[in-house]
Amino acid sequence: EVRLVAENGTTLLIIPLVGRSEIGGAVVVRQPKTSDDPFTQQLAVLFAAQAGPALEQFQVIGKLSEDLRRDDKLGIGNSRHATALVQSLTPGDALVFIDMDNFGKVNKDLSYAEGNRYLREFSDLLASSVRDSDLTARPGGDEFIFIAREAELDALPVANRLLQSWRESGHAKRSFSAGVAIHASNDLPEQTLDHADEAVRR
């Protein structure tokens, strides 16, 4: 429904952007009260009629894209998301690479179900321990990464706090190793990932 609202000597023409299933926004046209321009109003209505379904489609595509980058079992970013995070590195960002110690032994001695539970508990802890859970991901297997934007020396304390929280959650016998690399302006994102991975293996 198109609405006309008078405000401070002007008239606001508010036209909802209606998609197939919901309203995604609104077009607001501001014009003087003395102006009665039916052409402008009709143009705005026409634009809204075209923009509503397009906006809804854009939102659906965005949701599908997000789902494709989410690990269904763990609720954390998957390998696609990990790749995108690495490519998004800017100078001063810290990349923390995490490897779960002896994870294969968990699957072998207990079960794959127990291994999946173990990964889920860690991914939940990781997502809740960092400032932005969208900056966390699982490249694959028992490896995880997270990005600390413009963190530099602050990234190591974050990793230490994560380790402490993991121990306090009752997993003192199951450890992980973490490597930190600061992205430099003369490095490629893949090189920073390699540096963090190498730091884990030392």
Are 137 and 68 contacting, i.e. CB atoms less than 8 angstroms apart?
A: no
Span 83-118, pLDDT tens digits: 989 999 999 999 999 998 877 777 777 777 777 888
Backbone torsions φ then ψ of 169, nearest 5 degrees = -80, 0
DSSP code, position 46 = H
Average per-residue pLDDT for the chain: 75
Query: Count of CB atoms within 10 A of residue 162's CB?
Result: 22
**CA separation for the pair 190, 121 (Å, rounded):** 28
The burial of 196, by beta-carbon neighbours within 10 Å (0-12 exposed, 13-18 middle, 19 or more buried), is given as buried
Provide the token pair at 113.
């179900």
Model confidence pLDDT, tens digit, residues 177-199: 889 999 998 999 999 999 999 99
Q: Which helix (H) or strand (E) holds 7?
A: strand 3-7
DSSP 8-state secondary structure symbol assigned to residue 32: E
